[in-house]
Amino acid sequence: MVTMQGSIQGLFARLWPAVFYIFVMYFAATVTGTAYAAISVSVDRATISQDESFYLEFSSDSNVDDDPDFSPLNKDFHIVNQSNSSSMRIINGRVSRESTWSLMLMAKRAGNLVIPSIRFGSDKSPQKRITIKKSVKSNGEKGTSALYIEAETNTKNLYVQSQLLYTVRIYSAINLMKLALPEPNISAGEAIIEKFDTDASYEKRIKGRRYKIFEKRYAIFPQKSGTLVIDGTQFTAQYVDNRRALRTKVLNTDPINISVKPKPALPALKNKPWLPAEKIQIKEEWPDDPPQFSVGTPVTRTLTIVAGGLTSAQLPQLQTDMPKTMKLYPDKPSLQDNKSTEGIIGIRQEKTAFIPTREGEFRLEAIEIPWWNTREDRLETAVVPARTVLVRPAPAMEPAAGSGIAELGQAPTPQSTSSTTAPSADAGWWRWLAIGSTLGWIMTIVLLWYRKPAPVVETRASIPPAAGFKVNHTAMRELDKACRANDALAAKNALLSLGKSLFPDNPPTSLGELAKLSDGSDGGGGEVAQQIRLLNQSIYSEESGSWQSEALLAAIKRFKPSMQPNQGGQEKNVILPLHISVNNGNRA
């Protein structure tokens, strides 16, 4: 028996590269017919004139099918220049790739134009609409000086704490040695200034002369009503003239006065957060729609507010009072500011775990956020509608079946969702190639089996496949300590830390999630899941169930992750078993 098993393992050790190649080919054949790369399209600024160049960028975070065909752009645009780049990042063991194609374009005409869909082999980008303004005849210094500067705002009249866009442009028909602009200064009034992450650069022809334009943008938020004064910007330029002499020139912009209006005195805004924005939306998400509640089982609600023209720091808290029959466990809110060509978009996301303590029907009240529409100059309200939820009794606990548990470290295999996607005709030859390759390798394996038997290799026949996870031994010691002290909350925290190491791809955030992940992954009757649910119920339910600390600890200790031999018969990736005694980290 040992000789036969060694022969099989030796044959597999020599042929595993071929088997791996078969799986790769089959995967490629399957994916090619159904998966497409996601390609995004963006332009470098919102306002574009017919006589200005602008940058158009295509980007993808996955491999595209082929090189792009930019010829459809020639209908409405001149392609001045183009380049492409790619990058790869490895974060927490995950590899991400990004490819970017950047084109400098000039429009052939003014109007509402469409960036057509560009094909990357079988992949293609979405269309994008842009507005090209007619060329404006320049006067004064524009077009007569080789170097000048200008500053402008998108409005001269706005409400307190609303967004003001401030733009500084340097026009240069010569090569500059150094380019540095000071930050804008507020000499009257109070304001918060947010600089955009990237600067824009493009070309424009003015009075027959070609200029390189450097553009810096800022979002300014006045903090009190009255007059806001933005001082003139001073720019010092260095360049080499026709005689190859170093020259210095100082350029200045005029100061800009802004009228800041106070918050409207409306009853609906009294004692409410003041939110002057271009647009505000609130989105509510649950794990299931509609959400399913049962006593003692946590359900997480996610609320997200997105505001155009406000920073995330200006957005209010979204959660409201809930029925007393619900215990709430909110996470720390997530704040994010996205800076685009049209200004700042503030995003605030809040996640809260709801744990019902009593069954029945309960009402979750509506969430209403009044805000001032700065585009329409009127009051509006963003609403999350009220909903009635039904809380069912706690799920019945089934007795554990089976004597042993295989491995807690392997997450349960998710049930695949039934779906049918017709593969494209272009991918058919991939499937036939994969099938042919598979048959060829099977014939090779059969010939090698009969003609050249593998030598007997003595290995440890009792070693099963490795579990493939790393155990958090600190969490195991904390769990042992909590169980011996009969401390339910400490046991919960230790279990969640242990669960993050056992299920790194889907780390549980609650005992309910950990119980679902471990249920059925032990190859037995779900003993660990049962003990976790008993602990969860004893903590959160008004009808506190009894949890058995010794039973929970014993169930965890019966899990035995294993070791896997390599091709040379030597053990590698040895993982410390869970069935050791965790007292002082010594083996039992």
Q: Which of 261, 295, 319 is the last residue of a domain?
A: 261
The confidence score (pLDDT) of residue 143 equals: 54
464 within some domain: no
Nearest-angstrom CA–CA distance, 94 and 216: 35
441 and 490 assigned to the same domain: no
pLDDT digits (tens, 9 = 90+) for 496-547: 888 887 777 778 888 878 877 776 554 444 677 778 888 877 776 655 456 7
Mean pLDDT over 448-457 rounds to 50
Q: Are 148 and 141 within 8 A, CB to CB? A: yes
Q: Are 295 and 392 within 8 A, CB to CB? A: yes
289 and 342 assigned to the same domain: yes
The confidence score (pLDDT) of residue 540 equals: 67
Q: Which of 118-132, 403-417, 451-465 has the highest mean pLDDT?
A: 118-132
408 within some domain: no
482 and 571 assigned to the same domain: yes
151 and 253 assigned to the same domain: yes
Angle at 458 between CA 455 and CA 461, to 5 degrees: 120
Q: How confident is the model at residue 577 (pLDDT cuts 50, 70, 90)?
A: very low
Q: Are 115 and 129 within 8 A, CB to CB? A: yes
The confidence score (pLDDT) of residue 274 equals: 92
Nearest-angstrom CA–CA distance, 139 and 504: 64
Q: Is 446 helix (H, G, I), strand (E, B) or coil?
A: helix
Q: What is the 3-state secondary structure (H, E, C) of 207-227?
A: CCEEEEEEEEEEEEEECCCEE
Q: Is 104 helix (H, G, I), strand (E, B) or coil?
A: strand
Q: How confident is the model at residue 210 (pLDDT cuts 50, 70, 90)?
A: confident
Bridge partner residues of 164 (DSSP): 220
The confidence score (pLDDT) of residue 47 equals: 73
The confidence score (pLDDT) of residue 536 equals: 78
Q: How confident is the model at residue 208 (pLDDT cuts 50, 70, 90)?
A: confident
pLDDT digits (tens, 9 = 90+) for 175-201: 887 777 778 888 888 899 988 877 888
- Please report the sign of the dihedral spanned by the C-alpha atoms of residue 131, residue 136, residue 140, residue 143: positive
* Domain extent for 178: 147-261
280 and 373 assigned to the same domain: yes
The confidence score (pLDDT) of residue 229 equals: 92
293 and 384 assigned to the same domain: yes
The confidence score (pLDDT) of residue 118 equals: 92
pLDDT of 4 > 80? The answer is no
Bridge partner residues of 205 (DSSP): 210
403 within some domain: no
Total tally of structural domains belonging to the chain: 5
79 and 54 assigned to the same domain: yes
The confidence score (pLDDT) of residue 404 equals: 40
Q: Supply the Cα-derived Rg of the chain in whole angstroms.
A: 33
285 within some domain: yes
404 within some domain: no
Could you tell me the end-to-end alpha-carbon distance of the chain, in angstroms, rounded to an integer?
Answer: 33
pLDDT of 398 > 70? The answer is no
162 and 120 assigned to the same domain: no
223 and 288 assigned to the same domain: no
Lowest mean pLDDT among 146-155, 321-330, 417-426: 417-426
Mean pLDDT over 85-106 rounds to 79
The confidence score (pLDDT) of residue 431 equals: 60
Lowest mean pLDDT among 101-105, 441-445, 478-482, 566-570: 566-570
Across all residues in the chain, what is the average pLDDT?
75
The domain that contains 89 carries what CATH number? Answer: 2.60.40
**79: part of which helix (H) or strand (E)?**
strand 77-91
Residue type present at position 174:
I
The confidence score (pLDDT) of residue 544 equals: 47
83 within some domain: yes
Nearest-angstrom CA–CA distance, 285 and 290: 10
Q: ω into residue 395 within 30 of 0, thus cis? A: no
Residue with tokens 């009503």: 225
Bridge partner residues of 168 (DSSP): 151, 216
The confidence score (pLDDT) of residue 434 equals: 62
* 574 exposure class (CB count in 10 Å sphere: 0-12, 13-18, 19+): exposed
The confidence score (pLDDT) of residue 221 equals: 93
- Percentage of residues of the chain with pLDDT beyond 90: 16
- Percentage of residues of the chain with pLDDT beyond 70: 70
pLDDT digits (tens, 9 = 90+) for 318-377: 877 778 888 888 888 999 998 877 889 999 999 989 889 888 988 888 888 999 999 999
The confidence score (pLDDT) of residue 339 equals: 85
91 and 151 assigned to the same domain: no
302 and 374 assigned to the same domain: yes
23 and 91 assigned to the same domain: no
Of 182, 172, 177, 119, nearest in space to 148 by CA: 172
415 within some domain: no
The confidence score (pLDDT) of residue 493 equals: 86
Q: How confident is the model at residue 12 (pLDDT cuts 50, 70, 90)?
A: low
231 within some domain: yes
Neighbours of 527 (CB within 10 A): 25
